Protein backbone atom coordinates (compact mmCIF):
# COMPACT_ATOMS: atom_id res chain seq x y z
CA UNK A 1 0.00 0.00 0.00
CA UNK A 2 1.23 3.48 -0.78
CA UNK A 3 2.27 5.92 1.88
CA UNK A 4 -1.19 7.41 2.40
CA UNK A 5 -1.53 6.64 6.03
CA UNK A 6 0.30 9.72 7.13
CA UNK A 7 -2.36 12.16 5.95
CA UNK A 8 -5.84 12.40 7.49
CA UNK A 9 -7.43 11.74 4.15
CA UNK A 10 -5.27 8.71 3.62
CA UNK A 11 -6.19 7.42 7.03
CA UNK A 12 -9.87 7.81 6.29
CA UNK A 13 -9.60 6.04 2.99
CA UNK A 14 -7.46 3.19 4.28
CA UNK A 15 -8.33 -0.21 2.90
CA UNK A 16 -8.12 -1.85 6.30
CA UNK A 17 -9.43 -0.12 9.40
CA UNK A 18 -7.62 -0.37 12.68
CA UNK A 19 -10.44 0.02 15.18
CA UNK A 20 -14.24 0.23 15.39
CA UNK A 21 -13.93 3.96 15.74
CA UNK A 22 -11.78 4.11 12.62
CA UNK A 23 -14.40 2.08 10.75
CA UNK A 24 -17.22 4.31 11.96
CA UNK A 25 -15.38 7.44 10.98
CA UNK A 26 -14.59 5.96 7.60
CA UNK A 27 -18.25 5.17 7.01
CA UNK A 28 -19.09 8.69 8.00
CA UNK A 29 -16.47 10.08 5.64
CA UNK A 30 -17.67 8.06 2.66
CA UNK A 31 -21.24 8.98 3.42
CA UNK A 32 -20.25 12.60 3.49
CA UNK A 33 -18.53 12.26 0.12
CA UNK A 34 -21.67 10.79 -1.37
CA UNK A 35 -23.76 13.54 0.13
CA UNK A 36 -21.46 16.14 -1.33
CA UNK A 37 -22.35 14.90 -4.79
CA UNK A 38 -25.96 15.84 -4.24
CA UNK A 39 -26.26 19.62 -4.63
CA UNK A 40 -29.86 19.83 -3.48
CA UNK A 41 -29.15 17.94 -0.29
CA UNK A 42 -26.16 20.17 0.35
CA UNK A 43 -28.37 23.18 -0.14
CA UNK A 44 -30.81 21.79 2.41
CA UNK A 45 -28.03 21.11 4.87
CA UNK A 46 -26.55 24.59 4.47
CA UNK A 47 -29.95 26.19 5.02
CA UNK A 48 -30.36 24.17 8.19
CA UNK A 49 -26.89 25.11 9.39
CA UNK A 50 -27.66 28.72 8.58
CA UNK A 51 -30.82 28.48 10.64
CA UNK A 52 -28.90 27.08 13.58
CA UNK A 53 -26.33 29.86 13.33
CA UNK A 54 -29.03 32.51 13.15
CA UNK A 55 -30.80 31.04 16.13
CA UNK A 56 -27.66 30.89 18.23
CA UNK A 57 -26.54 34.37 17.24
CA UNK A 58 -30.02 35.88 17.43
CA UNK A 59 -29.09 38.51 20.00
CA UNK A 60 -26.27 39.63 17.73
CA UNK A 61 -28.08 39.51 14.40
CA UNK A 62 -31.41 40.99 15.33
CA UNK A 63 -31.22 44.77 15.44
CA UNK A 64 -33.87 45.04 18.14
CA UNK A 65 -35.71 42.81 20.60
CA UNK A 66 -38.73 40.89 19.37
CA UNK A 67 -41.16 42.88 21.41
CA UNK A 68 -39.86 46.40 20.97
CA UNK A 69 -42.99 48.22 19.99
CA UNK A 70 -43.28 51.61 18.42
CA UNK A 71 -46.73 52.80 17.73
CA UNK A 72 -45.54 55.53 15.41
CA UNK A 73 -43.85 53.06 13.11
CA UNK A 74 -46.68 50.63 12.53
CA UNK A 75 -47.18 48.69 9.33
CA UNK A 76 -44.20 50.04 7.45
CA UNK A 77 -43.25 48.20 4.26
CA UNK A 78 -39.79 46.65 3.89
CA UNK A 79 -37.09 49.25 3.67
CA UNK A 80 -33.41 49.70 4.27
CA UNK A 81 -34.05 50.36 7.90
CA UNK A 82 -36.58 47.59 8.46
CA UNK A 83 -35.61 44.83 6.09
CA UNK A 84 -38.89 43.02 6.51
CA UNK A 85 -40.98 45.98 7.46
CA UNK A 86 -42.85 46.45 10.73
CA UNK A 87 -45.98 44.87 12.08
CA UNK A 88 -49.19 46.23 13.55
CA UNK A 89 -47.47 47.08 16.81
CA UNK A 90 -44.47 48.70 15.17
CA UNK A 91 -42.15 45.78 15.87
CA UNK A 92 -39.36 45.08 13.42
CA UNK A 93 -40.40 41.98 11.51
CA UNK A 94 -36.83 41.00 10.67
CA UNK A 95 -35.92 40.85 14.34
CA UNK A 96 -39.02 38.84 15.10
CA UNK A 97 -38.19 36.35 12.39
CA UNK A 98 -34.66 36.00 13.69
CA UNK A 99 -35.80 35.48 17.25
CA UNK A 100 -38.52 33.18 15.99
CA UNK A 101 -35.91 30.87 14.54
CA UNK A 102 -35.04 29.91 18.10
CA UNK A 103 -38.59 28.81 18.73
CA UNK A 104 -38.69 26.79 15.54
CA UNK A 105 -35.45 25.08 16.42
CA UNK A 106 -36.57 24.53 19.98
CA UNK A 107 -39.76 22.83 18.87
CA UNK A 108 -38.05 20.67 16.23
CA UNK A 109 -35.29 19.51 18.53
CA UNK A 110 -37.58 18.75 21.43
CA UNK A 111 -40.01 16.82 19.28
CA UNK A 112 -37.16 14.81 17.78
CA UNK A 113 -35.63 14.14 21.19
CA UNK A 114 -38.94 12.89 22.54
CA UNK A 115 -40.37 11.08 19.55
CA UNK A 116 -37.28 9.21 18.39
CA UNK A 117 -36.44 7.39 21.64
CA UNK A 118 -40.08 6.65 22.37
CA UNK A 119 -40.61 5.33 18.88
CA UNK A 120 -37.44 3.29 18.99
CA UNK A 121 -38.31 1.86 22.38
CA UNK A 122 -41.82 0.87 21.39
CA UNK A 123 -40.85 -0.43 17.97
CA UNK A 124 -37.87 -2.50 18.99
CA UNK A 125 -39.68 -3.96 21.98
CA UNK A 126 -42.68 -4.90 19.89
CA UNK A 127 -40.48 -6.37 17.18
CA UNK A 128 -38.17 -8.26 19.51
CA UNK A 129 -40.68 -9.84 21.84
CA UNK A 130 -43.42 -10.47 19.35
CA UNK A 131 -46.59 -12.16 20.50
CA UNK A 132 -48.96 -10.21 22.72
CA UNK A 133 -46.50 -7.41 23.35
CA UNK A 134 -46.25 -6.86 19.65
CA UNK A 135 -49.99 -7.03 19.07
CA UNK A 136 -50.87 -4.64 21.85
CA UNK A 137 -48.14 -2.13 21.09
CA UNK A 138 -48.89 -2.14 17.40
CA UNK A 139 -52.58 -1.78 18.03
CA UNK A 140 -51.89 1.33 20.08
CA UNK A 141 -49.59 2.49 17.31
CA UNK A 142 -52.27 1.97 14.69
CA UNK A 143 -54.76 3.93 16.72
CA UNK A 144 -52.44 6.90 16.83
CA UNK A 145 -51.70 6.48 13.16
CA UNK A 146 -55.41 6.50 12.39
CA UNK A 147 -55.53 10.20 13.00
CA UNK A 148 -53.93 12.70 10.67
CA UNK A 149 -51.08 14.39 12.49
CA UNK A 150 -52.52 17.86 12.68
CA UNK A 151 -55.90 16.73 13.93
CA UNK A 152 -54.48 14.64 16.71
CA UNK A 153 -52.11 17.40 17.73
CA UNK A 154 -55.02 19.82 17.73
CA UNK A 155 -57.03 17.51 19.93
CA UNK A 156 -54.19 17.12 22.42
CA UNK A 157 -53.45 20.81 22.58
CA UNK A 158 -57.13 21.55 22.94
CA UNK A 159 -57.15 19.22 25.92
CA UNK A 160 -53.89 20.37 27.46
CA UNK A 161 -54.32 24.05 26.87
CA UNK A 162 -52.31 26.38 24.66
CA UNK A 163 -48.62 26.93 25.19
CA UNK A 164 -45.38 26.00 23.61
CA UNK A 165 -44.59 23.05 25.86
CA UNK A 166 -48.03 21.55 25.36
CA UNK A 167 -47.64 22.02 21.63
CA UNK A 168 -44.35 20.13 21.74
CA UNK A 169 -45.91 17.28 23.69
CA UNK A 170 -48.88 17.15 21.35
CA UNK A 171 -46.73 17.07 18.24
CA UNK A 172 -44.34 14.53 19.73
CA UNK A 173 -47.34 12.29 20.43
CA UNK A 174 -48.15 12.33 16.74
CA UNK A 175 -44.54 11.93 15.62
CA UNK A 176 -43.59 8.73 17.40
CA UNK A 177 -45.90 6.20 15.63
CA UNK A 178 -44.16 6.21 12.23
CA UNK A 179 -40.81 5.82 14.00
CA UNK A 180 -42.11 2.89 16.01
CA UNK A 181 -43.42 1.21 12.92
CA UNK A 182 -40.11 1.63 11.17
CA UNK A 183 -38.10 0.42 14.15
CA UNK A 184 -40.30 -2.62 14.43
CA UNK A 185 -39.81 -3.49 10.76
CA UNK A 186 -36.05 -3.20 11.12
CA UNK A 187 -36.09 -5.24 14.31
CA UNK A 188 -38.00 -8.02 12.62
CA UNK A 189 -35.39 -8.35 9.91
CA UNK A 190 -32.52 -8.26 12.37
CA UNK A 191 -34.07 -10.40 15.06
CA UNK A 192 -33.42 -13.75 13.45
CA UNK A 193 -29.81 -13.15 12.48
CA UNK A 194 -27.07 -15.33 13.78
CA UNK A 195 -25.21 -12.70 15.71
CA UNK A 196 -28.26 -11.91 17.78
CA UNK A 197 -28.59 -15.58 18.55
CA UNK A 198 -24.94 -15.64 19.49
CA UNK A 199 -25.28 -12.78 21.92
CA UNK A 200 -28.33 -14.37 23.44
CA UNK A 201 -26.51 -17.63 23.98
CA UNK A 202 -23.82 -15.68 25.75
CA UNK A 203 -26.46 -14.74 28.26
CA UNK A 204 -27.27 -11.17 27.36
CA UNK A 205 -30.55 -9.89 28.74
CA UNK A 206 -33.22 -8.73 26.30
CA UNK A 207 -32.70 -5.14 27.34
CA UNK A 208 -29.02 -5.36 26.56
CA UNK A 209 -29.63 -7.06 23.24
CA UNK A 210 -32.12 -4.46 22.22
CA UNK A 211 -30.09 -1.51 23.35
CA UNK A 212 -26.66 -2.56 22.23
CA UNK A 213 -27.36 -4.61 19.15
CA UNK A 214 -30.74 -3.93 17.66
CA UNK A 215 -31.14 -0.22 18.20
CA UNK A 216 -27.87 0.68 16.41
CA UNK A 217 -29.16 -1.14 13.32
CA UNK A 218 -32.30 0.95 13.32
CA UNK A 219 -30.63 4.28 13.77
CA UNK A 220 -29.84 5.13 10.12
CA UNK A 221 -33.38 4.67 8.90
CA UNK A 222 -34.83 6.35 11.97
CA UNK A 223 -32.58 9.35 11.43
CA UNK A 224 -33.67 9.58 7.82
CA UNK A 225 -37.33 9.24 8.72
CA UNK A 226 -37.20 11.84 11.46
CA UNK A 227 -35.43 14.29 9.18
CA UNK A 228 -38.01 13.79 6.49
CA UNK A 229 -40.87 14.00 8.96
CA UNK A 230 -39.39 17.11 10.47
CA UNK A 231 -40.70 19.10 7.54
CA UNK A 232 -44.22 18.00 8.41
CA UNK A 233 -43.62 18.62 12.09
CA UNK A 234 -42.65 22.19 11.37
CA UNK A 235 -45.78 22.65 9.31
CA UNK A 236 -47.90 21.18 12.09
CA UNK A 237 -46.25 23.47 14.62
CA UNK A 238 -46.92 26.42 12.36
CA UNK A 239 -50.51 25.35 12.04
CA UNK A 240 -50.90 25.16 15.79
CA UNK A 241 -49.28 28.57 16.10
CA UNK A 242 -51.61 29.93 13.47
CA UNK A 243 -54.57 28.86 15.56
CA UNK A 244 -53.05 30.47 18.61
CA UNK A 245 -52.43 27.13 20.28
CA UNK A 246 -48.66 27.15 20.26
CA UNK A 247 -46.29 29.71 21.57
CA UNK A 248 -48.29 32.52 23.05
CA UNK A 249 -47.89 36.21 22.19
CA UNK A 250 -45.68 38.13 22.31
CA UNK A 251 -43.38 35.24 21.42
CA UNK A 252 -42.47 35.57 17.73
CA UNK A 253 -43.42 32.08 16.63
CA UNK A 254 -43.70 32.10 12.87
CA UNK A 255 -47.12 30.48 12.69
CA UNK A 256 -48.53 32.89 15.23
CA UNK A 257 -47.05 35.77 13.25
CA UNK A 258 -49.03 34.57 10.27
CA UNK A 259 -52.18 34.68 12.30
CA UNK A 260 -51.73 38.28 13.39
CA UNK A 261 -50.43 39.13 9.95
CA UNK A 262 -53.67 37.88 8.57
CA UNK A 263 -55.60 40.69 10.25
CA UNK A 264 -53.65 43.33 8.40
CA UNK A 265 -52.78 41.31 5.36
CA UNK A 266 -54.68 43.41 2.90
CA UNK A 267 -52.71 46.53 3.76
CA UNK A 268 -49.46 44.91 4.76
CA UNK A 269 -48.81 41.88 2.59
CA UNK A 270 -45.32 41.40 3.99
CA UNK A 271 -46.72 40.46 7.36
CA UNK A 272 -48.39 37.43 5.81
CA UNK A 273 -45.75 36.65 3.22
CA UNK A 274 -42.52 36.66 5.16
CA UNK A 275 -43.18 34.34 8.12
CA UNK A 276 -44.66 31.87 5.63
CA UNK A 277 -41.54 32.03 3.51
CA UNK A 278 -39.45 31.33 6.58
CA UNK A 279 -41.56 28.27 7.36
CA UNK A 280 -41.44 27.14 3.75
CA UNK A 281 -37.68 27.48 3.53
CA UNK A 282 -37.08 25.53 6.70
CA UNK A 283 -39.47 22.77 5.73
CA UNK A 284 -37.99 22.61 2.25
CA UNK A 285 -34.49 22.38 3.69
CA UNK A 286 -35.47 19.42 5.86
CA UNK A 287 -37.06 17.70 2.88
CA UNK A 288 -34.04 18.20 0.64
CA UNK A 289 -31.56 17.18 3.30
CA UNK A 290 -33.68 14.22 4.32
CA UNK A 291 -33.86 13.02 0.72
CA UNK A 292 -30.12 13.28 0.36
CA UNK A 293 -29.60 11.53 3.68
CA UNK A 294 -31.81 8.72 2.55
CA UNK A 295 -29.82 8.24 -0.61
CA UNK A 296 -26.67 8.00 1.45
CA UNK A 297 -27.84 5.89 4.36
CA UNK A 298 -30.56 3.80 2.85
CA UNK A 299 -29.96 3.44 -0.87
CA UNK A 300 -32.27 0.49 -1.29
CA UNK A 301 -35.39 2.59 -0.87
CA UNK A 302 -36.17 4.08 -4.27
Partner 1 sequence: MAEPKAAAGQPPAAAPSSSLPRWVRPLLRQLASVAVTLLGLMALAFFIGRMLPLDPVIAIVGEQAEKETYDMVYRQLGLDRPLWQQFLFFIRDMLSGDFGNALFTGNRVADDLKRVFPATIELATFAIMIGVGIGVPVGVLAAVYRDSPLDHSVRFIGLLGYSSPTFWLGLMGLIVFYAWLDLVGGPGRLDVSYIDMVEPVTGLLTVDALLVGEYDVFWNTLSHMILPGTILGYSSMAYISRMTRSFMLEQLGQEYVTAARVKGQSKWRVVWRHAFRNILVQLITVIALAYAFLLEGAVLTETVFAWPGFGRYLTSGILAGDMNAVLACVLIIGVIFVALNLLSDLLYRLLDPRTK
Chain-centroid distance of CA 150 in Å reads 16
Binding to partner 1 (CB under 8 A) within 204-263 occurs at 231-232, 235, 238-239, 242-245, 255, 258, 261-262
Distance CA 183, CA 214 (A): 9
Nearer residue to partner 1 within complex by CB, 123 or 261:
261
- Count of other CB atoms within 10 angstroms of residue 235: 17
Give the count of residues interacting with partner 1 (CB under 8 A).
48
Alpha-carbon gap, residue 140 to 135, rounded angstroms? 9
Among 24, 57, 143, 198, binds partner 1 (CB under 8 A): 143
Query: Does the footprint of partner 1 cover residue 118 (CB under 8 A)?
Result: no
**150: contact with partner 1 by CB under 8 A:** yes
Q: Which of 147, 213, 219, 220 is the binder for partner 1 (CB under 8 A)? A: 147
In terms of DSSP H, where are the helices of the chain?
8-12, 20-36, 39-56, 58-61, 93-129, 131-145, 149-160, 164-191, 194-201, 206-208, 215-242, 254-263, 269-297
Residue 50 binds to partner 1 (criterion: CB under 8 A):
no
Closer to partner 1 by CB, 37 or 148: give it. Answer: 148
Task: Report CA 155 to chain centroid distance, whole Å.
Answer: 22
Using the rule CB under 8 A, which residue among 28, 30, 50, 269 binds partner 1?
269
SS3 226: helix
Q: Confirm or reject binding of residue 154 to partner 1 (CB under 8 A).
A: yes
Q: C-beta of 168: minimal distance to partner 1 in Å? A: 16
Give min distance, CB of 238 to partner 1, in A: 5
| Cβ density class 194-227: b for 16+ within 10 Å, e for less | eebeeeeeeebeeeebbeebbbebbebbbbbbbb
Of 65 and 244, the one with the shorter C-beta distance to partner 1 is 244
Interface residues with partner 1 (CB under 8 A)?
139-140, 142-144, 146-152, 154-161, 231-232, 235, 238-239, 242-245, 255, 258, 261-262, 265-266, 269, 272-273, 275-276, 279-280, 283-284, 286-288, 302
Amino acid sequence: MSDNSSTLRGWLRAEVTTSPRHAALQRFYFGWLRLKGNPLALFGLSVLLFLIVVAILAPVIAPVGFNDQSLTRRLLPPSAEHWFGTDELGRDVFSRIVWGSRITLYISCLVAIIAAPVGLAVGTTAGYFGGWTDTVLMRVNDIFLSFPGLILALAFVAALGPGIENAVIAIALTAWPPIARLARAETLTVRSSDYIAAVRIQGASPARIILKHIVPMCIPSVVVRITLNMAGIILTAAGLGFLGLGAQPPLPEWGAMLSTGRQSMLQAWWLAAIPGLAILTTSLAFNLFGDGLRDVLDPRSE
